Chain A
C-alpha cells in the first residue's frame, strides 16, 4: 500500500512539474511574457504605403523602442493601410500631434515605425490615431521615378 502511494505521489508531482514548466516557459520565454508584465495602450496611424512593415515590428521614439506594431489592415474605403501600435504605458505622455514614419534599419534591415513627438499640450490616449504620417520608401518607386525623370529631361532637351 505504501509503495503504491509513493508512485501516485511522484506521478502527481511529475505532472505538476510539467505544468510549472509550461507556465514558466510560456511567460518567461515567449511573447506572452511582456504583455502581462507591462500595461500598454493602442494608437493607430494611416499610411499610403507601408512597404515591408510587419506585425510585431518595433515602434520607437528617438531610437528607443517604446512598443510594437500589433496589426496592419487595409481600410476598405480609403485604401490606406491602418497600422495599430501597442505602446507601453510607461510612455503615456506622447503629444497628440506626434507624427509617424516608416524607416528601415540599416541598408537591408527590418522596417520599423518611428514616432516624432510634436509640441501639442494634449497627450495621446488609448484608441487615438495619428494624422501626420510618412509612408515607407519603396526602392522600386524611387528607381522608376529616377529613370522616368531623367528620360523626361532628355525629351525636353
Chain B
C-alpha cells in the first residue's frame, strides 16, 4: 500500500511541460488516424461534408477574395514601381504570377483560412464539449468523431484548395486591373509574358499541392484543439487562440519544407 502511493506521487514519464510540444504532435497524429479510420464514403457522410464545406469554405469567401484582390493590387503596384526604373514593366505579369502561385497564394490563403475557418471550427467543437453535447452524442451511440470531427476536417481539405484558387484568381485580376487599366500596360503583353514564364507543372500545380497539405494541417489543428479543449469558457478561448498560432506556424514551416522539396 505504502509502495503504491509512493509510485502514484511520482509524475508519470513525459508529462512535464518540456515534452508538451512532442506530446501534442503525437496526440494529433493519433487523432488524425482515429478520424481517418471513420472515413466511410457513405452518402450520408458526404452530405454532412458538403454541409460543412458550406460553413468552412463559403463563409470564408469574402475575406479570401478581398485579401486576394488587394494582394494582387499591391503586388502589381510595388513591382511596377521598381520595374519602371529598369524599363522592364512588361515583366509585371510574370512576377505576380510566379510569386503568387509559388508562395503568396497558398500561404496567405492558408493563414486567412486558419483565422477565419479554423477558429470557428475550434470554437464550435470546444463549445459542444463544454456544454456536454459530445458526451450526449456518445450516450446515444453516435460517434462524435465520425459525426462532428471528420466532416469538418474533410471540408477543410476540400475548401482550402478551392479558396486558394479563388484567391489567386482575384489577385491576378487585381494586378491586371492595376497594370493594364491604370498604368496602361498593353493587355496582350501582360498575358503573353505571364504565359511564357509561368510554368503549369513547375509552379501552378506544386502550389496547388501545397494547399492540400495546408488544408489538412489547418483542419487537423482546428479539430484537435477543439476536441481536446478544457470544457470551460476559458478553455475554449485558449483553444481558439492556440489554433490560430499553431496552424500559422505550421503553415509557414511546412511551406519552407515543401518549397525546398519541390524545387
Contacts A17-B166, A22-B165, A25-B204; A30 near B198 (Cβ below 8 A): yes
Mark A4-16 against chain B: 1 for CB-CB distance below 8 A, else 0.
Answer: 1001101110110
- Interface positions, chain A 30-52, Cβ under 8 Å from B, are 30-34
B residues near A32, Cβ cutoff 8 Å: 200
Q: Please, which residue of chain A has its CB at the minimum distance from the CB of B51?
A: A7
Contacts of A56 in B (CB 8 A): 196
A interface size (C-beta, 8 A): 25
B228 → chain A closest CB, angstroms: 28
Q: Does A28 contact B (CB under 8 A)?
A: yes
| Cross-interface CB contact of B195 among A14, A21, A24, A30, cutoff 8 Å | A30
Chain B residues packing against A (C-beta within 8 Å) = 47, 50-51, 53-54, 57-58, 61, 93, 97, 101, 158-159, 161-163, 165-166, 168-169, 172, 191-192, 194-200, 203-204, 208
List the A side residues contacting B47 at CB < 8 Å.
8
**Interface residues of B: mostly helix, strand, loop or mixed?**
helix
* B51 contact from A8, A21, A22, A31, Cβ within 8 A: A8
Asked if A34 and B162 sit within 8 Å, CB to CB, the answer is no
Count of A-B residue pairs with CB < 8 Å: 83
For A28, the chain B residues whose CB sits under 8 A away are 172, 191, 195
Q: Is A127 an interface residue (CB 8 A)?
A: no
- Report whether over half of chain A's contact residues are helix, strand or loop; otherwise say mixed: helix
Interface flag for A78 (CB, 8 Å): no
Instruction: State whether A18 touches B166 (Cβ < 8 A).
Output: yes
B191 touches A11 (CB 8 A): no
In contact, B54 and A14 (Cβ under 8 angstroms): yes
**Is the CB–CB distance between B166 and A31 below 8 Å?**
no
A23 CB to nearest B CB, Å: 10
**A10, B54: Cβ atoms closer than 8 Å:** yes
Q: Are B192 and A26 in contact (CB under 8 A)?
A: no
Contacts of A14 in B (CB 8 A): 53-54, 57-58, 61, 159, 162
Which residues of the other chain, B, contact A10 by a CB distance below 8 angstroms? 54, 58
Q: Give CA–CA (A21, B158) in the complex, Å.
A: 15
Chain B minimum-CB-distance residue to A34: B195
Bound-state CA distance A12–B192 (Å) is 33
Given A8-B51, A11-B57, A29–B191 Cβ distance below 8 Å?
yes
C-alpha gap A11/B58 in the complex (Å): 7
* CB pair B162 A15 closer than 8 Å: yes
B45 CB, nearest partner CB in chain A, Å: 14
